[in-house]
Amino acid sequence: MFDRKEKILIVGLGLIGGSYAQGFRRAGYYVGAVTRSQESIDYALENGLIDSGTNRPDREYISKFDLIVFSLYPKTLLSWIKENQAMIRPGALLTDVTGIKCSVVYEIQGMLRPDLEFIGAHPMAGREVYGVKNADADIFVGANYIVTPTLSNTPAAIEACSQVGRILGFGRIVRLSPEEHDEMIGFLSQLTHCIAIALMNSRETEHLAQYTGDSFRDLTRIARINDKMWSELFLMNKKALLKEMDLFIEQIKKIRDAVQADDLQLLQDMMRKSTERRICFDKK
């Protein structure tokens, strides 16, 4: 769909943007970058992650690129496109890496110039460290890459976006609607982060650390969280997240009330159900 003559621009050189840059460059593409920090550009140039970069978008530079990958916080992504889309070459394809889709994809598609096309994607990979200095294209190996087309996307763009996943070496390339994606992420990722945050907020814990076993440690690992990014992601997925939180709160209250009422039978039923359902989540 697109070949190695195409030039790729990464907007936002953080952990994921930097890893995309490295992956594309290894595959033989010309990779440019726009990011606020000159230090990040210098690092990426010195370490061979990009061919060129600028900390100030201008028409001459931006208009060179055929594919633009946005790796920005969701609100920053929306305002970047609003302010700078006039500089983009007609016919260019735009995609992103944002962890929520409905409120990003439809918003962008609604304001985009008609001679450009945006298609959402979510690389389900990451690390618990940040910034371009931790970039590593190997984090994509074996991970899921989700393409979230809408009715306004062309077959060519859907195929090109899937190709991005293949070039970067993702283990599995899946197609979901933005709605299906956000529901899945609301449950599997956002709700679990809410739980870990709530647990660590529920009492002073310092004196308990010495007794902690692996189960508590595993459950709360994700309580160390980038507050700026995740609070945006939560609020931009409000509808799906609230639905998942309400389902969970209902069940935890059901357990609470069963304990209060000495309802051994109900507790055992819920434990058997959780045991049975958990089996299909074991790593193959």
Copy the structure tokens of residue 231.
């609070």
Q: Write down the least CB distance from residue 210 to its own copies, Å.
A: 8
Please report whether residue 175 would count as binding its own copies according to CB under 8 A.
no
Q: Dihedral of the CA atoms 205, 211, 217, 220 (nearest 10)? A: -20
Based on the shown chain and the rule CB under 8 A, indicate whether residue 37 belongs to the binding site for its own copies: no
Which residue has 């299906």 as its token pair? 180
Q: Which is nearer to its own copies, 166 or 239 (CB)?
A: 239
215 near its own copies (CB under 8 A): yes
256 touches its own copies (CB under 8 A)? yes
Q: Residue 72 in contact with residue 50, Cβ under 8 Å?
A: no
**14 burial class (0-12, 13-18, 19+ CB within 10 angstroms)?**
buried
**DSSP category for residue 27:** T
Residue 56 CB, shortest distance to its own copies, in Å, is: 28
Q: Two tokens at 204?
A: 């002073």
Least spacing, CB of residue 147 vs its own copies, in Å? 13
Which of 11, 196 has the CB closer to its own copies? 196
177 near its own copies, rule: CB under 8 A? no
DSSP 126: -
What's at 103, amino acid-wise?
A: S
CA quadruple 219, 220, 226, 232: dihedral sign: positive
Inter-residue contact 33 to 9 (CB < 8 Å) = yes
Nearest to its own copies of 58, 269 (CB atom): 269
CB of 213 vs its own copies, minimal distance in Å: 6
Looking at the Cβ atoms of 5 and 207, the one nearer to its own copies is 207
Q: Which is nearer to its own copies, 154 or 205 (CB)?
A: 205
Residue of 80, 69, 79, 99 whose CA lies nearest to 235: 99
- CB count in 10 Å sphere of residue 258: 17
Q: Report CA-CA distances (Å) from 137 to 123, 162, 167, 230.
A: 12, 17, 11, 23
141 lies in the binding site for its own copies (CB under 8 A): no
Q: Is 200 near its own copies (CB under 8 A)?
A: yes
Indicate whether 129 belongs to the interface with its own copies (CB under 8 A): no
User: What is the footprint of its own copies within residues 66-125 (CB under 8 A)?
Assistant: 124
Q: How many residues bind its own copies (CB under 8 A)?
A: 83
Q: Which is nearer to its own copies, 61 or 73 (CB)?
A: 73
What residue has token string 């870990």? 196
**Least separation, in Å, of the C-beta of 219 and its own copies?**
5
Any contact of residue 251 with its own copies (CB under 8 A)?
A: yes
Give the binding range for its own copies (CB under 8 A) out of 7-15, 34-42, 77-85, 266-274.
266-274
| Shortest Cβ 250–its own copies spacing (Å) | 7
